[in-house]
Each structure stands twice: as C-alpha cells, then as structure tokens.
A and B are shown apart, each in its own frame.
Chain A
Amino acid sequence: MRAMDSIFSNYRPVRMILLFNLLAFTLLFLFEERYDQKILLSGLIVMALIYLSFTIIKWRTWGDEYLFLIVSMLASIGIMMIFRLEVQLGIKQIQWFMGGIVLFFISYIVYQKIRFWDRLTIFYLILSLTLFIITLAFGKKISGATNWVNIGGITLQPSEMIKVIFIFFIASFFKNRGSIKIPNLQIKGKKIKIKDTTVMTLIAYTHMGFLVIQREWGGALLFFLVYFTLLYIFESDLRLLLINAGIAIVGGLLGAKYVYHIQVRISTWLDPWRDISGKGYQITQSLFAIGSGGFFGTGIGLGSPQYIPEAQTDFIFSAICEELGIFGGAAVVLLYFILVYRGMKIAMKVDDTFHKAVALGITIMFGFQTFIIIGGVIKLIPLTGITLPFISYGGSSLTTSFVALGILQAISKNNFEEEEGEI
C-alpha cells in the first residue's frame, strides 16, 4: 500500500520528464553511432535544470506547479526532435532553454515586485511601435518575412516580444478605460467626440498593419485572434464586436483577392497536389511525413524528417508525428490543452481586471499559436509560418514564451491584494 502511495505522489510527473529525457538522450547518443559525450552532458544539464526549477517553484510555493511541468515536457519533446535533426541546433536550443528558464524566473520576480504595470498604457504603445519601426528600418528578410533584426551579432525577432507588450497594452486599457481622456477633435468648428474603444481599435489594427507590411501573416492573424477574444470577454458593446468581425472578414477577402502571397497560401491549402514540386512542396512533404508515421511512428532516428522543409521550426509537429506517430502528436496537442486549461483557471481566480486580462491574453496566445501552426501543417487551415510555442527551434520564440509563462506563473500566485493592503 505504501509503495503504491508513493507512485502517485506529487513528484511523480517530474520523474516522468526526467525518465523521458534520460531515455531520449541515451537514444540520441547511440544514434548514427555518434557516441558524443556532449550529447550525454547536455541531457544531464536539461534534466538537472528541470528538476531544480521545479523544486524551487514547489519549495518557495511560487504559484501553480503544473504550468512549468507541462511546459518542460513540451520543451523536452522539442529538444529531442531538434537534436535528432541536427546536433548543433540541438545544443543551441538547450542554450536557449537555459536562458529561457532564467528569464522565466526573472520575469516572475519582476512582475511580482513591480506594482504599477497597469499604469503604463502609453509606454507599452510607444515601445511596441518603436520596435515595429526598428524592424522595418533594419529588418532582414528570412524565408519570405521581414521580421529579423541583427543587434550585435544576435538576430532577434521583435514581433515575438511585441506579442507580450500588446497583451499588456490591451489589459491596461481595459483596466483604466474610465480614466483615459481623449481630446475632442475639432473639424470646421464642430466638436467630434472620439470614443476610447475607437482609439484602441485603431491601435490594434496599426499593430496588425505593421505585421502585414512585414509579410508575417501568421503573426497578424494571431494578433487579431488575441485582440478579438479579449474584446469579446471584456467589452459588452455588441456593435463594436460586429464591426471588428466585419473588418476582419472584409480584410481577409480583400487579401485573398488582391494579395499574391495570400492567394498562394489559399490555393496550396485547397489543392497542394497540383504543384507538388513547387508551391505545394512544403505542405505535401508535411502530409507525407505525418502519413508515414502511422499510429506509433517510425521511432526516433528511423524516419526521414529531413525531407520536410523547416522541420526544426514551423514543421516540427510533422516531424514529431512521423517519428512518434499519431499518438505522439495527439499527446502534444493534449499537453497544450492542459496548459490552456490551467491558464484559464488562473485567469478566473484573479479579481483584478489587469491581471485577469494579461493571464487570459497569454493563455489565448499560446492556444491560438498552437492552433494556427498545427492546423496549418495538417492542412486544416491555410498554412502560415509561425512557431510552435516551447517546441520549435528558435531563441526569440522560446525565450518570449518563457517570459510569458513567468508572468502567468506570477499571476497564479495571486497575492496582489494582500500586499497592496500592507502598503
């Protein structure tokens, strides 16, 4: 009875992650007879890092215990896949993972310490617009989208950071909406009153406009979905919602009719087989990979995910499906489900509008981002290049996701009222 009890103890899930990593890195060590000690060492680092961070969260009772566990499982699956595809990228990804965990704790502490996040509405606006302008001015073009900035040898993707800033902006807007004063316009002597929601709508579409100029369709879609969902939750005016939906539909239809890039995406989505070696190459390779995996997959190292283009970033889900099968892919989707569920639960427990909106925004962002890219690679919706949070290779994506997770973790502690009372 005692032994059975301890199997189900609280630490069990973290042991599962450690076991997973142990087996995965042993397998990678044997793969292609590499026998590289670096691989075993990086495996040990990943395991130690996860166990240590989880112990810190539990010991200091830093809020929700499950968020970090779910995310480390996702990151472990991602690291294993990237290592299998290319060892060099895998080692880099582990460095990003270490940096991500450090940023996770930093953002947790900073978010807890600073109590005036909701008063910086204008600051968020200026920050995100500055970042957009920097991207446009100094941006590099990589695989179709101009969204990379080179700062001192490190290439960054500012749009990843803007996602979090944008959520903060919307949240602080909803918190302070009564107190925001907008000067009346004077045209030909007539005074025209501008509603605060009109201003926010314009700002939100400015963000999306910048992303469209950068040709980052997936990002624009993600911003719209996050913005629209938050509007649906916090705004009672049905007319505004309908107007926004109308703008989105008209914008989408115009894009589909006149913008060449969107036309290509839609036609390859409807029929990728027509131009299998050209425009439909990515999506068909992805479908072949998922199909060849079957229920349990080929096994790590036994499939051929190197034929999938961008297998380590956008198409990593296809690579997972090929080598771990449909069951592996469904497990990844399930993990995201629990993550989103946990996030919603945290948002529901918080009373303050600002924290509620931030928690919801981050959760919705994770959820929609996963939906857009997984839906894209399985040909459920038109494909748009966007990363799979916590799994895809990429420093900007991984670190930003960890920063967002740190903020969610800080909100889950939910001690905002108590400390405010003491001051």
Chain B
Amino acid sequence: MFELISTILKYIFIVIIYYFIYGIIRLIYLDISTTSYTGKKISGKYPYLKLINQREKLKFKVDESYVLDGDKTIGRTPKNEIFIQDPFLSGEHAGIAIDHGICYIFDMGSKNGTFVNDEKISKKRHELTNGDAIHLGQLNFLYVESME
C-alpha cells in the first residue's frame, strides 16, 4: 500500500516542484519587463496611461504605464506604437491623437469596442480629461494628465 502511494507521489512531487519553478520564473519575468522600462517611465511632461489591472493576473506582457508623447495607436500587432498581446484586443484597436495639447482617443474599428468611463466611443475623436477610465480588451487604464 505504502509502495503504491509513494510511487504515485514521486511523480506528483516532481510536477509540484517544476510547477513551482515555472511560477517563480514567470513572476520574475513579469517583474523584469517593468523594471527595464522605469527609466523612461513618467517624465512629468507628457500625459500617460496608467494600468489599473493587477499585472500578475494577466497572462501577457504589459507595462505599468504608457507615456503619450505623441500620436499613438494601440493594438495587438507589433506595428502599433503601444502593442499588447491581449487576445481580446483587435489588430489595430484604438488611436490616441494629440492636438494643441489636448489628448483625444478614437476607436479604429475594433471588434470589442473601446470604452471611456463605461461609454462606448466611436471612430470620432473623444476628448480625454484627467482621471478618465479607459477600457479596452481585458485592460483598464487611467488617463493621467501631466503634472505641469
């Protein structure tokens, strides 16, 4: 009886230890992706998008914040300036435009839509104000205006 239990458990022990190692390496990896970006993080000059989601719960790489120092597009493909591999994002999901110091967001024909303060926005430019909650895919961002 003991032999049987021990024989089964030896495989389970190995699985547990390796799964533990996987978990640790994964968390460390997620950690690195933020620390390497802290250098150019928030300069205070430009508005930025701050992630509200708990990053460790997302299964893809995403930064803690994205600086909006110019026109940007957000999407799943690498040709976007802000590219996040969230399966719920469209290839080209939304765009950000800066015009005379005012920041606008607009949808780019995404499948799941872009929401500002729980309201779905269209392809027309929507003006952003400090503290707006932006939701796209699985992501929740907070729009923070520059400190100046």
Verify if B102 is at the interface (C-beta below 8 Å from A): no
Q: Are A338 and B24 CB-contacts (below 8 A) given A10-B56, A20-B16?
A: yes
Verify if A187 is at the interface (C-beta below 8 Å from B): no
Complex: how many Å from CA A326 to CA B21?
Answer: 16
Q: Are A302 and B6 CB-contacts (below 8 A) given A13-B23, A70-B24?
A: yes
Interface string of B126-142 (1 = CB under 8 A from A): 00000000000000000
With a CB–CB cut-off of 8 A, which chain A residues contact B2? 30-33, 301
Q: Taking the nearest CB of chain B, how far is it from the CB of A409, in angstroms?
A: 16
Contacts A8-B59, A16-B20 supplied; 13 other A-B pairs, CB < 8 Å: A8-B23, A9-B57, A10-B27, A13-B23, A20-B17, A23-B16, A33-B2, A66-B28, A299-B6, A300-B13, A301-B2, A301-B6, A331-B21
Q: How large is the interface on B (under 10, 10 to 19, 20 to 34, 35 or more residues)?
A: 20 to 34
Verify if B10 is at the interface (C-beta below 8 Å from A): yes
Nearest A residue (CB) for B8: A299
With a CB–CB cut-off of 8 A, which chain A residues contact B35? 349
With a CB–CB cut-off of 8 A, which chain A residues contact B12? 23
With a CB–CB cut-off of 8 A, which chain B residues contact A301? 2, 6
Verify if B52 is at the interface (C-beta below 8 Å from A): no
Helix, strand, loop or mixed for chain A's interface?
A: helix
With a CB–CB cut-off of 8 A, which chain B residues contact A5? 57
Q: Are A342 and B6 in contact (CB under 8 A)?
A: no
Complex: how many Å from CA A13 to CA B17?
Answer: 10
Q: Are B9 and A299 in contact (CB under 8 A)?
A: yes
Q: Are A19 and B16 in contact (CB under 8 A)?
A: yes
The interface of chain A, by Cβ under 8 A from chain B, is 5-6, 8-10, 12-13, 16-17, 19-20, 23-24, 27, 30-33, 65-66, 69-70, 73, 77, 296-302, 323-325, 327-328, 331, 334-335, 338, 341-342, 349
Q: Are A331 and B10 in contact (CB under 8 A)?
A: no
Q: Are A324 and B57 CB-contacts (below 8 A) given A8-B26, A13-B20, A17-B20?
A: no
Q: Taking the nearest CB of chain A, how far is it from the CB of B17, in angstroms?
A: 4
Verify if B147 is at the interface (C-beta below 8 Å from A): no
Q: Taking the nearest CB of chain B, how far is it from the CB of A70, in angstroms?
A: 6
Q: Are B11 and A296 in contact (CB under 8 A)?
A: yes
With a CB–CB cut-off of 8 A, which chain B residues contact A334? 21
Complex: how many Å from CA A16 to CA B28?
Answer: 17
